[in-house]
Structure 1
């Protein structure tokens, strides 16, 4: 046994398990199974050209050495990114804790109450700091959150008949440059005209439906927007405000000025900069707009006993319901980071946050006063943490970089300096010395912070915030550690048992891949630091792009999209730009099979495309003849086909090459959804099947953890014809020579977590990543064989094999009064998270075991499913008081003095022997979703306050 082989640790089945698995499936070897699963005409003819695999020790040594090439300067660049102190108790107990970072999106609320409470704390923090009525459970970054605000205001404008045709959106020239770039990307295909200007000279004409302001402005000026918002409302123009979260501790909240939407990033609430992400964006609005909000909302409801419980509210994956009518394709949040930011607010409480905000402001005032004495004058009349001073930028830059300090250079004679939570008096004196040298003046030192306030009294916050007990109880490390542990114990994560979610690929997130995220040389770099200071990042990111090019067979990659849904959108926007470059402005028809992911039509609609749905046959495959007819019918306007491969039904369709050729013959390009890439790596690839672009979910196939619903990374890989159109960034240029504007705010998206995928590929190498695919297919077919005599399996390949996932048909159980939801809830009693429920077919379970699960765990899950099948058989439609309808069973039920159920306590809690040694107890009974939607409560206030 090669104990230093990473593949040995990542892949679950052991060598001595294989013969048993082969015999069960009915094959002689793994190669035979792969031959019967993957069509021969698309199989790769040679191994992937990747570097030899590193051992874990070699990789960690390598990444430490590479990290030394990054220069960690003192960063005063600002522009929405600030050095922040990550409290060690949060770093150790959440950021570095698999109990938090391996959890899935909390769709199964009964086994996610801890995470749901942590996110509710985050929502409460956002609601109270912004002064708004409702907030969601985080978005991806400030730039994309601002774009979602624009989309929401565009969507709700139609409710006002006067604004039906209004298509102009005012953008203050104070907006962050990266936010403007994302707004430009999102507005164009929607037919929105951006008008950039000074809010003080805005004419409030009737052509406008909305506006967005920056508070404070990009270089620190604090403006009073109350009059602007009032005038806008008189003209039926709704206003979004992009805000700095820490400044809202001291400044009048935008909600109190009348804002309709408030967005921003929570990064400076204890999240490392990480060269741009991941960071949780916030989005808050008025109650009246809740049905148009993007993303997820965590709400309070009750369980079957009437006790308080939490769950996700309001059909939160709206794109699966509305499809092409969706206003957003948001499917991913940044839950792990939102949890950390919310816990930062819990740890510090309102008094602690005031102390931090006051210290930051005092540091800025002290610096401004000191530089004024040097004749370096601050042009900001009012500011929170950022001053803009007049000096010779080239002189200052040379001296500052010599002292390992970064400022932001607005122009040749204006410099922006943003101080932050980490800034000390010693740091201020270093800045003073830099400017003294640059101006040829004698330096001096300050010894204490100024007590002067540079915020006008009219803009000082007077309202209270975070008065709930949770923000006023956990300020010692012991208290917070125990609170975090209390919440963690309520959640089922990968550190307890397998999570076999079809299409979601919940594989091992190896510790060696995760460790570098805590290294200062990697997590402390500002995304707009001069590129030569990020040499380690540049080498790592370029190498990861090369690795992904090799794996997909494509010519270019952008890592900028920071979720899978963003990747879909980026791929379609690259296709759109390609057609426009050729003068084919009319090519806007996108063909999408009816079995596609719900984000596909939502993304196509956002990219300004006309969606034509094509049929799916009874066996789950694309109806090629229907596709042919529609491709020919729309050949003059055909832009793209969106196709998932293997299909959403878990099948390698043998007609895929015929399908892609058909699209190309009729002038379109092929976008391949990479959600199921874990069945392709090393065996086939998007280039081989004839695709032009694919997105990859690095949080699926390439081992970034789901983090309770994010971080995600959704890069796109493209062929040579699309390379010129890969997206750029306004401050650090990226992408092609005809680059589209930004997809997300940071140049390389969530760069920090790209280290995980880089480690995954580097430690597995060509043979390892290919074996990961083979074993994912092996595990899926082993489970299929064990379960298909108990549950009908809906779709199979031509030789009867599944790809990496399978769909169990549970619709017939309705005759017994059992719904697929009952099975999902009963699995909790067996210690498992449910597979994907009712997607892509209602009334089914889609199971994907991944390569990381060992034989014993596969058998435990199969045993649980078979046991549940027997319970279904024993059920009757007339007797609803049964073990399935009452699931999940809590410890309170089992220890109650009375037992009113026609089955034993042992049957309820310990239906199989293995459960006793590692019992997981759901903390609430089945939640009442309907009650929660009727009584929407999205903050920490007790539910009685709303009833």
Structure 2
């Protein structure tokens, strides 16, 4: 046995288990199973061309060699990215802890109370610092959050504005350049007219529905926007502000000015820059817009015993339910990063944040004083951490780079410098030395920080911040470590048991893949440094692009989209640009099967397309006749088909090539949703089925962990005709010759997280990737056969096989009074997270085990389902006092003095023997969703505010 083989560690079933698993499935070999699962016409005829796989030790050496090629200058570029200090207690206990990074989105609230509490802390931090009423649980980056703000404001226009089709949106030229360009991307398909100009000379009129300001501005100047806001409001213009989170510790919050939305990034609250991400953006608004806010909101509710509980609130406004009518296509957040940023505020508390902010501000002013002693004066009358110097930028750049310093060169005569939390006295002296050399003068060493305040008196913050107990308690490392652990114990993650979520691929996130994320040589790289300083990153990213291009059978890849839904949007925008390049501007019809994930129609609408839904046949496949009819009916305007393959029903549809050809014959392009790519890699690919573009969920198939609901990375891979349109960036050009404007803020999106997928491919290689797909299919079919006779599987391929997932039908149990939700909650008592509930078919569960789960774990999972099936048989329709209706059972309930239920405590909590040695306790009983939506509380409010008298 080659114990150096990473595939041996990644793939769950042991070699000695495979024969019995194949026997259970009813095949003689793995090859026979693949033949019966995947249509022969789309099987790859040759192996993938990928490098020889590395062992974990070899990969560690390789990634360290790449890291050494990154030249880490001290960087003061700013523009929304600042080096920060990740407290070691947070780095070790959250970032490096699988109890946090392997958890799933908290749809099953009872086993996610720790993460939910951490996100509630985050939301509280954001609402208080921004002065707004409501915040979500994070978005993807500052620029996309600003675009979501624009979308919200156009959606909440008053009746008169909608009647007159008011679509002008003013953007201050002080807004960050990457944000302005991303707004262009999002505005064009929605027919929003962007007007970019000087906000100080803006004349508000009723032609505008909204405006975006930057606070402080990109130049560093702190503007007083009170007059702008007042005048704009008088004309019915709603205001969004992009605000630096650390500056809000010292500055009047935008909410006090009467604005409607505040957005920004929490990166400088202890999150590495990571060459662009991942970082948790924040989004705060008014409660009046609670039904329009994008992303997830954590709210307070109660459980069955009337105890406080947390859950995701107002989910009916999301794309899962509203589909093409959704306010946003957002399907993920940056939960892991939001948790870290929230803990940064918990650890430092209000006084610690004030100290950090004041230090940054006073170091900036100290630098200004030292530069003025050299005769170099800066242009900003007021500032927080960023100054502008009128000098010969080219000469300064040459000197600075010799001293391994990076500044921002706004133009030929302007150098901007942004000071951050890590800047020391010696760093300030090094900056001064550059300008002393430029001025041919002697540099004085800075030995102390002066006492300055260069903020406008009218904008100095005077109210108390973060007064809640959680921000004023855990300030020693011991206390915070224990607080983090107390929350971790309330969350079920992959370090406890399998999370078999259909369409979500919760596989092993190997430690060897994750370790580089902790290395400062990867973490401390600013996304806008000259590319030659990021040689390690450039080599890694280019190789990853090439590997993904090879795996998908396409011609090019963009790593820029930093979520799956963003990848969908990016793919559709490249299709849109392709049609326009051919003079086919009128092509705007997007065909989408009825079974598609809700992000598909939401993304199509965002890309300016009209959605036409196609039917599914009785066996769950795309109804080819209906598709043909609609393709022909719309052939003159057909833009695209969005198709998931294998289907959302877990089937490799044999008609897929006929389907893609039908779209091409009628002038459209085929977008393949990559959610189920885990069933394709090494065996077939989007190119083989005839698709033109796909997005890949690197946080699914390629092993980036879900992190409790994010980070995600959603690159797009495209056929040759779409390569010219891959997205660019205004500061570091990327993409094709006819590149569309940016999809996310950073040139390569969440570059730091790409290290994980790079390692996954590097260590598995061609053979390991193919085997991973084969074992994912084997494990799914093993579960299918073990559950046969207990649960009906809704759909299967022509030879009776599932792909990597299957749907079991729970609707027949209604005759016992049991709903699919009851089964989901009862699974918690067995130590398992429920599979995907009621998608894509109401009243069902979609199960996907992945290749990483062992036969032993699969058997434990199946035993739990079979035991629950027997419990269902014992239940009568009118009997509510049964283990399923009362699930989950908490430790407090089991150990209470009284027990008045007709079944035993043992049956409630320990229905199978394995639970005696590995028991996970839900921390609350079943939550009341409706109560939480009726009484929306989304901050750490006192208990009196949300519990009834």
2:401 corresponding residue in structure 1? 401
5+ residue gaps, structure 1, are: none
User: Aligned with 2:156: secondary structure?
Assistant: helix
Specify whether residues 162 and 758 from structure 1 end up closer, same or farther in structure 2 by C-alpha distance, changes over 3 A only. Answer: closer
Which residue does 1:241 correspond to in 2? Answer: 241
Closer, same or farther: CA 164–930 of 1 in aligned 2, 3 Å: farther
Aligned partners of 2:317 and 2:327 also within 8 Å: no
Rate the CA distance shift 1:642–1:216 in 2: closer, same or farther, 3 A. Answer: same
Contact persistence 2:694–2:717 (CA under 8 A): yes
Do the aligned residues in 2 keep the contact of 1:176 with 1:218 (CA within 8 Å)?
yes
Is 1:205 matched up with 2:210?
no
Match of 2:536 in 1: 536
Structure 2 residue aligned with 1:66: 66
Write the mapping of 1:294-373 to structure 2, written as runs, cut at 5 A.
Answer: 294-315=294-315, 318-373=318-373
Q: Which moved more, 1:167-176 or 1:398-407?
A: 398-407
8 Å Cα contact 1:296-1:317 kept in structure 2 = no
1:161, distance to aligned residue in structure 2 (A) = 5.1
Whole-Å Cα distance in 1 between the matches of residues 5 and 368 of structure 2? 56
Tell me what 1:608 maps to.
608
1:423-502 correspondence runs (5 A): 423-502=423-502
Contact 1:331 1:599 in 2 (8 A): yes
Matched, 1:379 2:386: no
Q: Which residue of 1 aligns with 2:676?
A: 676
Corresponding residue for residue 723 of structure 1: 723
Aligned partner of 2:49 in structure 1 is 49
Partners of 1:390 and 1:237 in 2: CA distance: 35
| Counterpart mapping for 1:186-205 below 5 A | 186-205=186-205
Q: Secondary structure at the match of 2:884?
A: coil
Q: Secondary structure at the match of 1:785?
A: helix
Alpha-carbon deviations, 1:309-341, whole Å to 9, x = none? 000000167112111112210001000000000
Q: What do the CA deviations read for 1:627-652 (whole angstroms, capped 9, x no partner)? A: 00110111000000000000000000
Hey, what's the Cα distance between the residues in 2 that align with 1:256 and 1:472?
24
- The whole-number CA distance in structure 1 between the counterparts of 2:795 and 2:317 is 25
User: Contact 1:502/1:806 (CA < 8 Å) preserved in 2?
Assistant: yes
Q: TM-score, normalised by structure 1?
A: 0.99
Structure 2 match to 1:655: 655
Q: Deviations over 1:123-179 (max 9, x none)?
A: 000000000000000000000000000000000004455775110000000000000
Cross-structure match for 1:154: 154
Question: After superposition, what is the alpha-carbon deviation per residue over 1:163-220, rounded to whole angstroms, capped at 9, x for unaligned?
Answer: 7511000000000000011100000000100000111111111110000000000120
- Asked if structure 2 preserves the Cα contact closer than 8 Å seen for 1:127 and 1:284, the reply is yes
Counterpart of 1:921 in structure 2 is: 921
SS of alignment partner, residue 209 of structure 1: strand
Partner residue, 1:747: 747
User: What do the CA deviations read for 1:82-109 (whole angstroms, capped 9, x no partner)?
Assistant: 0000000000000000000000000000
Tell me the equivalent position of 1:255: 255
1:850 — aligned with what? Answer: 850
Unpaired segments ≥5 residues, structure 2? none
The 10-residue stretch of structure 1 (151-160 or 136-145) with the greater mean CA deviation from structure 2:
151-160
Describe the SS at the equivalent of 1:721: helix
Alignment of 1:401-420 (within 5 A): 401-420=401-420
| Distance in structure 2 (CA, Å) of the matches to 1:666 and 1:621 | 21
After TM superposition, list the pairs within 5 Å mapping 1:626-641 onto structure 2: 626-641=626-641
Whether contact under 8 Å (1:560, 1:746) holds in the other structure is: yes
Conserved 8 A contact 1:157-1:163: no
Aligned-pair CA distance for 1:788: 2.1
Could you tell me how far 1:943 is from its partner in structure 2? 3.6
Residue 784 of structure 2 corresponds to residue 791 of structure 1: no
Whether contact under 8 Å (1:163, 1:209) holds in the other structure is no
CA contact (8 A) 2:829 2:888 kept: yes
Q: Residue 937 of structure 1 contacts residue 943 of structure 1 at CA under 8 Å; is this kept in 2?
A: no
> Aligned-pair distance for 1:798?
0.1
Question: Could you list the per-position Cα deviations for residues 447-472 of structure 1 after superposition, in whole angstroms to 9, with x for gaps in the alignment?
Answer: 21121200011000011110000000
SS in 1 for 2:916: helix
* Distance in 2 separating the partners of 1:219 and 1:72: 24
CA distance 1:484–1:160, change in 2 (3 Å): farther
SS in 2 for 1:504: coil
Q: Which moved more, 1:160-169 or 1:403-412?
A: 160-169
Q: Could you give the per-residue CA deviations for residues 782-819 of structure 1, whole angstroms, max 9, x where no partner exists?
A: 00001121011000000000000000000111111100
Note if contact 2:72-2:525 (Cα within 8 Å) is conserved in structure 1: yes
Aligned pairs for 1:588-599 (under 5 A) are 588-599=588-599
Superposition misfits of 4+ residues, deviation over 6 angstroms: none
Q: Residue 762 of structure 1 aligns with which residue? A: 762
* TM score, norm. by length of structure 2: 0.99
Give the whole-Å Cα distance in 2 for the aligned partners of 1:499 and 1:4: 27
Equivalent residues of 2:291, 2:317 under 8 A apart: no
Instruction: Report the Cα offset of residue 446 of structure 1.
Output: 2.1
Distance in 2, Cα, partners of 1:746 & 1:475:
33
**1:807 aligned counterpart, secondary structure:** strand
Q: Which residue of structure 1 aligns with residue 130 of structure 2?
A: 130
- Separation in structure 2 between the aligned mates of residue 740 and residue 296 of structure 1, nearest angstrom: 28
Distance 1:823 1:81 in 2: 45
Instruction: Go from structure 1 to structure 2 and tell me whether the alpha carbon gap of 1:133 and 1:416 turns closer, same or farther (over 3 Å shift).
Output: same
In structure 2, relative to structure 1, the CA distance for the partners of 1:585 and 1:610 (3 Å cut) is same
CA contact (8 A) 2:501 2:849 kept: yes
Q: Which moved more, 1:330-339 or 1:371-380?
A: 371-380
